Structure 1
């Protein structure tokens, strides 16, 4: 499998690190693209710099490089996840404003009907945010706010992150054993 991982400037960078680590442990090829604010937030929230982030992925593509393979529909991938996804990035995707590699790669997933999973990060949500999410959902995009469930009795933050990561991988049809399934 080939999965594109996009990181934009919303809070929740810990989920992006969890996704990258899980995909690496499952030997899934990753193509990473990070916005400028995404880079800032990962460093601010997690103390991880861009070089460390690049090492977590198989391939890294500069966000300004619209000639990167992931900008083309002829480059086959199994989907994309944007984690976290700022409202700015979500809005750009909803309106087809592909001015960066991150938004162009998402646009390619939509036009080629590939899986696109977005973990939006904002609260409270305005009507504008909700309308943009509905627009994307109507196009087949999975909108998955990283809202944890507590029925599995998480003991710490890592349990919460693992739960969201596992549910995200489910949306990409990736087999894993990160979650205790209901009824198990």
Structure 2
């Protein structure tokens, strides 16, 4: 019998998914599901606040410690061995902490204004913020899904600064032109747009006029 190891699998791409403490956990859950279904290797980074918000907003019962969470989500989404990696917020030996090992693409969904500020100022106090800093310095693709209202001048200035650095700012603002009937319809529309920007194949939304 031949044992299968992570090295035996060829993933379509590598993406870092950060989940911060903003409202909108449902977007992150659906995005993770579809990234794994698309054979993407995902480095999942969650802030402590994100875990609190996740428990508040959803029925998801995710384990608190990262090792258990990695096993739980791998089983839940039937991910391949080595496809989902869930380092702790202080794991500075994680590949995402260094330009020599980090994926070139990262999305923070949802993205709190505190995280926006930290990234805009280059202040890395946890692995999620450091990973974003790495993507910026390596000239990779960083996509932020902010969820806040109203926005203060500070928020707007920080996002403008990041946009001028090439960061994609995609507020969690799903459209209503497809006449959504459920909350899942709204979530899928937003997540489909995120996947399109990450150049990940998706079939949940064909796009305007298609």
TM-score range relative to shorter protein: over 0.9
Give per-residue Cα distances to partners, 1:19-58, cap 9 Å, x unaligned: 0011111111100010000011111111323338533361
- Is it true that 1:112 corresponds to 2:138 in the alignment? yes
1:95 corresponds in structure 2 to 121
> Which of the pair has more CA radius of gyration?
2
TM-score of the pair, normalised by structure 1:
0.95
> Cα distance, 1:153 vs. partner?
1.2
Q: CA-atom RMSD, angstroms?
A: 1.3
Instruction: Please tell me whether the aligned partners of residues 24 and 56 of structure 1 are also in contact (alpha carbons under 8 angstroms).
Output: no
Give, in whole Å, the separation in 2 of the partners of 1:106 and 1:34: 13
Instruction: Please tell me whether the aligned partners of residues 15 and 43 of structure 2 are also in contact (alpha carbons under 8 angstroms).
Output: yes
Could you tell me which of 13, 22, 38 is aligned with 2:25? Answer: 13
Q: Which runs of 5+ in 1 are unaligned?
A: none
Give per-residue Cα distances to partners, 1:125-166, cap 9 Å, x unaligned: 000000000000001110100101111111110000000000
Instruction: Please tell me whether the aligned partners of residues 20 and 56 of structure 1 are also in contact (alpha carbons under 8 angstroms).
Output: no
**Secondary structure of 1:118's match?**
strand
Structure 1 100/48 Cα, relative in aligned 2: closer, same or farther at 3 Å? same
Q: Which runs of 5+ in 2 are unaligned?
A: 1-12, 75-83
TM-score of the pair, normalised by structure 2:
0.84
Aligned residues: 184
1:153 corresponds in structure 2 to 179
Give, in whole Å, the separation in 2 of the partners of 1:160 and 1:56: 23
- Is it true that 1:59 corresponds to 2:76 in the alignment? no
